Amino acid sequence: MDKGEKKEKDAEVEIPYKLWTDDVFESMIKQLDHRELDGYEFLAESMNVTIYRTPKGNAGLYDYKLYATLPDASPEEIASVFLDNKYRLVWDQYVTDLRVVQKNEKGPDVIYFNVDFPWPLSNRDYVYGRETRRMTRNGEDFVVIVMHSVSNNIPEVSRAIRVDDYHQSLALGKFGEHGTR
Give the chain's end-to-end CA distance (angstroms, integer): 42
- The Cα-based distances of 41 to 52, 55, 69, 130 in angstroms read 5, 9, 20, 28
Q: Tell me if 68 sits within 8 A of 170, measured CB to CB.
A: no
For residue 174, the enclosing domain spans 3-180
| Count of structural domains within the chain | 1
In this prediction the pTM is 0.88
Rounded to whole angstroms, how far apart are CA atoms 54 and 71? 28
pLDDT of residue 20: 94
Instruction: Please say if the pLDDT value at position 34 is more than 60.
Output: yes
pLDDT of residue 11: 58
Instruction: Please say if the pLDDT value at position 8 is more than 60.
Output: no
CATH of residue 49's domain is 3.30.530.20
Q: Is 161 exposed, middle or buried (0-12, 13-18, 19+ CB in 10 A)?
A: middle
